[in-house]
Structure 1
Amino acid sequence: MTAQDLISFARGAPSLDIVDIDGLKAAAVAALDADPGGATAYGTSVGYPPLREWVAARHRVPVAQVLLTNGSLQADAFLFDALLGPGDDVVVENPTYDRTLLGLGNRGCRVHQVPLDAEGVDTGALRALLESGVRPKLAHIIPNYQNPAGVTLSLARRRELLALAAEYGFTVFEDDPYTDIRFRGEALPALQELAADVPGAVVVRAGSFTKTVCPGVRVGYLIGAPDLMARIAGTATNLYISPNMFAQATVHQFCVSGGFDRSIATVSAALGERARVLGEALRENLPDAAFTAPDGGYFLWVEFPADVPADKLAAAAAERGVAVVKGSDFVVDGGHHALRLAFSAVTVDRIREGVRRLADAVAAVRG
């Protein structure tokens, strides 16, 4: 089977057909025309000033609360290094982003996974964990169209989470790269916005242009208390002097030209259609598979019956030219009958064919 025959549900990235290549070309030229010195210089560790101001205005926060990074994964790493150390307790969702588990594990943290359901993280289970004596320093939460589960944290759960954070004194890390990629329903207020009405609740938010502009720009950001952002900026200075100024200047021009809003509309429409077709294909070809249809984002989490081990299924799918990611990659323990399917890079016709191949793989595993 050739590389062209491979259908990959493995990686959460937009396909090239929905990336605004012409808009990015124009933005790069505009960045060099408008600010050649700023776009080509080392710059400052807090990021390209005009883009920093744009992010601050978009999220209605003071500029001092914004720090731009080389992608949101680096923002995560900066925050973990600033707040956590070996042996610290950290709460994450179950399942959660595999790189989060890797980053926390590499820092020697004690990771406590709290289950998800269709309304997001189970705050009742979180309260039980806290009442058992666990005192986390941080709770890592992906509130919108969660990776890998695709679910969204409900408004009631958002308020319950913030109340627990205030009561037990932990920081909520709102990891929110997917928030703009919404297919249906109304947008919910960010945890950071809601925290303003919860005395004692502390939220640090991360965002990214990877999912809305393109992965290759590698531009992300943190929004948090000015003293924390200043401390992280000091770390960034010692690490790399400044992030990628040319990429950030290009993203800034893309945003102010209207490209950002156009890109959100394009990506959201395309991915909404892909998510719909993926759900239809799963119901038709794999009726005993369980999943929650996402309201946005890039991912869908599928649970299979007990007679379908995910490791064997992934191998059988690969033999048929379908790449998937096992659920066990996203949990400390478990996920042995689940897959994460990323539909963002697969066109509609390929989605249907991919699910047909996946159903054939399930049949082969069942023997």
Structure 2
Amino acid sequence: MAERTISFARGAPSADILPHEAVREAAAHALEKDWENALSYGTGRGHPGLCEWIAERHGVGPEQVMITNGSMEGAALLFRHLVSAGDRVVVEQPTYDRTLLLLKQAGAELVGAPLESDGIDPATIEAACAQGEVRLAHVIPNFHNPAGCTLSMDKRSRLVKLAADNGFTLFEDDPYRLISFDEAPGPTMLDLDSADRVIHASSFSKSISPGVRVGYLVGPAARIATLAKSANEQYISPNMLAESIVFELCRSGGLDENLNVVNTALRERRDALVEALRTHIPGAEFVIPAGGYFLWLDLKDVDSKALLGHAKKLGVTFVAGPDFMLEGGSSSLRLSFAPVPASEVAEGVRRLAQALEHAAEDAPGSGR
């Protein structure tokens, strides 16, 4: 057993790049200048100042914004409101495992749409619509979890048109948008939507820290009002103290300063992972992510769940591909570079390569 496990499993940054000092200062300022909002019940829409800041960022009115306790709560609210048992929902393959869990709990009929290097193929959604009504399509456009790819602008435009033509809701799940290593992402599908078919979700969990649990939804005013009413009925309001701290970071410039630090560190980790994979596992196939936390590794003739058992013994972990799939994915795995300092990445990949050797020796027909 290795001395200390190097974990590529969890989609969260290591503690050394969490902005504890900036959050401490923002909390002090929030409790000095915004204490009434911070310490009181709000409405289902959340902190009014933060709603206005987000609305300005997206070029919409504040009535089109609501804050949630992380973007996953926004997804859960939307699914509970929109999806009933038997409704057909298109999901990317692979996709975020908790999205699959929520939709299965809602009783949705899930229709898988394979990802390409530049995101989902709109033709697969068009084909699904031709076979029957589609209620919703879930798409992660930027720095995909788990696949790492980014949806091309042409495909974004085609998806928005498909949603308008076929009347389904296009759920643009975009929590990694600001974690960009090269150039700023282009327009959102929300920006391209003129038919009120897009609901956009994002989060400050990636741009500030997971512990703040502040996300948001942006969409047509009437649909946001309905979702905010539902939120108010379920939990009165989201966490106003956390939102007040996030609002202070946004308006003070602290958010942008933190993004510079985080994106620099994560770019170094991404680069270290790509270099190590090319050195130690040259046969692996992957898309180089231009941002976010994740890289999706396709291997040949490997059972990733069996591989995980060998890897754990050698002190390295990841998430096996089938966790993100409706079916298949047995020769794939997700590596999160966010929690692993750049100086430790090569050793982690070296251990993974050694685990691959052990798995090959134990495979049926190997002669052992």
Consecutive aligned runs of 4 or more in structure 1 exceeding 6 Å deviation: none
More displaced 10-residue stretch of structure 1: 122-131 or 59-68: 122-131
- 8 Å CA contact 2:196–2:220 kept in 1: the answer is no
- 8 Å CA contact 1:18–1:267 kept in 2: the answer is yes
Structure 1 residue ranges without an equivalent (≥5): none
Which residue identity lines up with residue 298 of structure 1 in the other structure? Y
Structure 2 residue ranges without an equivalent (≥5): 362-368
Question: Counterpart of 2:193 in 1: which secondary structure?
Answer: helix
Q: CA deviation at 1:183?
A: 0.8
**2:69 aligned with 1:70:** yes
2:359 corresponds to: 365
More displaced 10-residue stretch of structure 1: 87-96 or 155-164: 155-164
1:226 corresponds to: 221
The size of the alignment, in residue pairs, is: 361
Per-residue CA distance 1:195-228 (angstroms, 9 max, x = gap): 13xxx36100001000000000000000011111
Question: Counterpart of 2:30 in 1: which secondary structure?
Answer: helix
Alpha-carbon distance in 2 for matches of 1:166, 1:66: 21
**2:264 aligned with 1:265:** no
Question: Counterpart of 1:5 in 2: which secondary structure?
Answer: coil
**2:191 aligned with 1:193:** yes
Question: Counterpart of 2:114 in 1: which secondary structure?
Answer: strand
Which residue identity lines up with residue 363 of structure 1 in the other structure? E
Alpha-carbon distance in 2 for matches of 1:134, 1:143: 24
1:47 corresponds to: 46
**2:246 aligned with 1:248:** no
Q: CA deviation at 1:115?
A: 0.5
Alpha-carbon distance in 2 for matches of 1:332, 1:137: 18
**2:306 aligned with 1:312:** yes
2:342 corresponds to: 348
Equivalent in 315, 318, 340 of residue 324 of structure 1 = 318
Alpha-carbon distance in 2 for matches of 1:201, 1:37: 35
1:184 corresponds to: 182
Which residue identity lines up with residue 330 of structure 1 in the other structure? F
- 8 Å CA contact 1:139–1:172 kept in 2: the answer is yes
Per-residue CA distance 1:299-351 (angstroms, 9 max, x = gap): 00001101x11011111111111111011000100000000001011001211
Residues 13-32 of structure 1 aligned to structure 2 (within 5 Å): 13-32=12-31
1:91 corresponds to: 90
Which residue identity lines up with residue 359 of structure 1 in the other structure? A
Alpha-carbon distance in 2 for matches of 1:328, 1:353: 25
Alpha-carbon distance in 1 for matches of 2:127, 2:78: 26
Alpha-carbon distance in 2 for matches of 1:298, 1:287: 21
**2:133 aligned with 1:135:** yes
Q: CA deviation at 1:186?
A: 4.5
Q: CA deviation at 1:355?
A: 0.1
Which residue identity lines up with residue 325 of structure 2 in the other structure? V
**2:211 aligned with 1:212:** no
Alpha-carbon distance in 1 for matches of 2:57, 2:207: 15
Q: CA deviation at 1:127?
A: 2.0
2:366 corresponds to: none
- 8 Å CA contact 1:162–1:201 kept in 2: the answer is no
Q: CA deviation at 1:178?
A: 0.3
Q: What's the RMSD between the two structures over aligned residues? A: 1.2
2:298 corresponds to: 303
- 8 Å CA contact 2:128–2:134 kept in 1: the answer is no
Q: CA deviation at 1:134?
A: 2.8
Alpha-carbon distance in 1 for matches of 2:87, 2:160: 20
- 8 Å CA contact 2:319–2:334 kept in 1: the answer is yes
Equivalent in 273, 287, 291 of residue 292 of structure 1 = 287
More displaced 10-residue stretch of structure 1: 109-118 or 162-171: 162-171
1:146 corresponds to: 144
Question: Counterpart of 1:30 in 2: which secondary structure?
Answer: helix
Per-residue CA distance 1:121-172 (angstroms, 9 max, x = gap): 01122222322x1321100000000100000000111111112111211110
Alpha-carbon distance in 1 for matches of 2:288, 2:151: 14
| Identity over aligned pairs, percent | 46
Alpha-carbon distance in 1 for matches of 2:205, 2:298: 28
Question: Counterpart of 2:272 in 1: which secondary structure?
Answer: helix
Alpha-carbon distance in 1 for matches of 2:132, 2:92: 15
